Structure 1
Amino acid sequence: MFEAIITLCLSLSDGPCRDHLLPGYEAQTQAACQVALSDNPPDLRVFTGLQAQGIATCQPMGETLSMTEVAPGVFVHVGRIEEPNASNRGDVSNMGFIIGETSVAVIDAGSARWIGEALWRAIRTRTDKPVSHAIVTHMHPDHALGVALFSEAGAAVVGHTGLPRALADRQANYLESLTSLIGAEALLGTRAPEVDIAVTDQLQIDLGARPLTMQAWPVAHTGNDLTVWDTETGTFFAGDLIFDRHLPALDGRLTGWRAVLRALQGLDIERVVPGHGAAALDWPLGSEPMARYLSVLEKDTRAAVEAGTRLGTAVEEIAQSERSLWQLFDAYNPRNATVAFTELEWE
């Protein structure tokens, strides 16, 4: 298969540069791809600030994400359990897509445009049905920043009603941080998506005999968590409301997250796709490690608050019994303890 590519640079004089996928021009032959480009030239205005090195050309299909089919028509890419760095180029979270009879829905698309491009290719190797919806489970860059490519391809971007403001407030900081972590070249072309459909409670969409139910949750992992339930297979995309092996990261309210987790545990679902870790978890068994950690985090934090322990000391003590049970513990537990302490101190 051939696809349309254009090389874009931050500066034509000294780069960095990266080949960018132009979605929607895929064809079985290079000639057919070139005809599509000629008939419908791409709108490059979405790449504000980048300079084109030459014109769009058709090339063999590039890098494609690995996918696991966790249920019929439900595919998941498993990101690395690592902090973003130059080696992993930001591929550190789970994402996926669901194929219906008439269209496809994407759920999250990683932290950079190149990941969204590789996810697009993974879809195109399995179906030529249009991607009608791109669903963002929450504001964090490792889930949200690769989604804009699907908007360019005509998908409606769906998110929690609180997502647009959260992304607007944080996009600049996210992009600055990721540039230092994964490098400017890997991040070229990346921008926050614009939300077309904001979910305040529940929303159902149909991919063609494939209904998906989206649920907006109260403040938990973040203030804009959204889940996706494929009732056809009982598969539930939880975003970062559920972590596996990767220590949970608290950026909302601890008590709210525990309440939401209890609600999730009561749902009649077959499997959950966590935001990090395994491609899918049996349910509710897969929730037990996280429920235990959040319980310990709350118990230890309350004990520190009641004992009058100073925050700096408490952060070094809270939830230390969980250290050996999670990856990235030292990167996230101090942050979790700080957020939890601040919340419970003022209850």
Structure 2
Amino acid sequence: MFEALVTLCLLGEPQICRDALVPGAEATTRAGCEAALGRLALPEGAWRAGAPFCAARGEVLDFEEVAPGLFVHMGAVAEPDGVNRGDVSNVVFVVGREAVAVIDSGGARWVGEATWRALREVTDLPVSHVVLTHMHPDHLFGAGVFAGAEVVGHAGLARALADRAENYEESFAGLIGAGFVGSSVPEVTVPVDAAMEIDLGHVLLEVRAWPRAHTGTDLTVRLGDVVIAGDLVFDRHTPALDGSVLGWLEVLDALEGQGARVVPGHGGPVLAMGAALAPMRRYLEVLRDDTRAAVAAGERLGEAVEHIAQGEAAHWALFDAYNKRNATVAFTELEWE
């Protein structure tokens, strides 16, 4: 199998380059790829360095079909770095009879490219929608691969990304290195303030926006009895609080009635709903209760974060990387209750 690539280099750092996928020119022979490439309309862009060319197919992400037509790639339970290149969150695609939806797209453009190759092994249907479950960069930087798809996000997502885009891009470029070349923050084209449905042809996705919880921009997608929860649900990876600990606990209660199984944003790849929510609820309740106790004792933030929720340390990966941040957010929320 052959595909079209283009060499992209960082602006201002032309020595840092990566061969990036040009979707749509896949063929079984190099000649077929070159013919398809000649028919593509390729926009000029600041990232382009040289002309597109055809080469053997590149990296393909590993996906598991966890329900009919529902495919999940489980990212590494790790911080993004030059080794995993930002592949640290789960990526999902759903195949209908007429179209495909991608739900979250990874922490770099290459993850989106490797997702494109994986779904092309399953179907040649168009990707009609990319759903972003929230604003965190490890879930969204691969979306640019799916040109022409509607980008679905929480009604508050566009503003949140506008506020954080520069920081996200600079941070991930530093963490990932050359693997980040070509990545960019996507533009939301379909904002969701309550709920919507996506019809993929005899396959219906139910998209729901939630009140402030993990973040202020959380969405879930339901397919039958399976909920794709994004980071409203973590498995093994320490939950990351960037919203409201009280709101998150309320959303977990509501999620329990949404489906029998859940695809978390990290870990999994698919779990029984009750089994997934129990450790989440336990951690957030400990975070809440320890924070309230620290506030009641008159502790300062700096001393409180050293012990809040430390009893949970043995239950979660990356605990030291996330728990103090969570305690800071919870303290800021609860000190004025």
1:286 alignment partner AA? A
Alignment of 1:195 with 2:188, yes or no, is: yes
TM-score (norm 1): 0.95
Alignment of 1:99 with 2:92, yes or no, is: no
Question: Could you tell me whether the CA contact under 8 Å between 1:11 and 1:51 is conserved in 2?
Answer: no
1:19 alignment partner AA? D
Residue 321 of structure 1, aligned match among 299, 311, 315: 311
Residue 260 of structure 2, aligned match among 258, 267, 270: 270
2:287 alignment partner AA? L
The whole-number CA distance in structure 1 between the counterparts of 2:4 and 2:106 is 21
Deviation at 1:341, TM superposition (A): 0.5
Instruction: For 1:1-347, list aligned pairs within 5 A.
Output: 1-10=1-10, 14-45=14-45, 48=46, 50-52=47-49, 54-150=50-146, 152=147, 154-183=148-177, 185-231=178-224, 234-267=225-258, 269-347=259-337
The whole-number CA distance in structure 2 between the counterparts of 1:250 and 1:199 is 22
The whole-number CA distance in structure 2 between the counterparts of 1:51 and 1:149 is 14
Q: Secondary structure at the match of 1:284?
A: helix
Q: Write the deviation string for residues 276-324 of structure 1: whole angstroms up to 9, x where unpaired.
A: 0110111122210111000100010001111111111110111111011
Question: Could you tell me whether the CA contact under 8 Å between 1:239 and 1:274 is conserved in 2?
Answer: yes
Question: Could you tell me whether the CA contact under 8 Å between 2:24 and 2:40 is conserved in 1?
Answer: no
The whole-number CA distance in structure 2 between the counterparts of 1:14 and 1:172 is 20
The whole-number CA distance in structure 1 between the counterparts of 2:39 and 2:15 is 30
Gaps of at least 5 residues in structure 1 are none
Q: Which runs of 4+ in 1 moved over 6 A?
A: none
Question: Could you tell me whether the CA contact under 8 Å between 1:10 and 1:51 is conserved in 2?
Answer: no
Q: Secondary structure at the match of 1:292?
A: helix
Moved more, 287-296 or 28-37: 28-37
Q: Secondary structure at the match of 2:15?
A: coil
The whole-number CA distance in structure 2 between the counterparts of 1:211 and 1:61 is 32
2:268 alignment partner AA? A
RMSD: 1.2
The whole-number CA distance in structure 1 between the counterparts of 2:274 and 2:57 is 39
The whole-number CA distance in structure 2 between the counterparts of 1:101 and 1:282 is 27
Residue correspondences, number: 337
TM-score (norm 2): 0.97
1:283 alignment partner AA? M
Q: Write the deviation string for residues 131-152 of structure 1: whole angstroms up to 9, x where unpaired.
A: 11000000000001111211x2
The whole-number CA distance in structure 2 between the counterparts of 1:273 and 1:211 is 17
The whole-number CA distance in structure 1 between the counterparts of 2:97 and 2:41 is 29
Deviation at 1:44, TM superposition (A): 3.1
Deviation at 1:12, TM superposition (A): 9.2
Instruction: Give percent identity, aligned residues only.
Output: 57
Gaps of at least 5 residues in structure 2 are none
Deviation at 1:40, TM superposition (A): 2.6
1:170 alignment partner AA? R
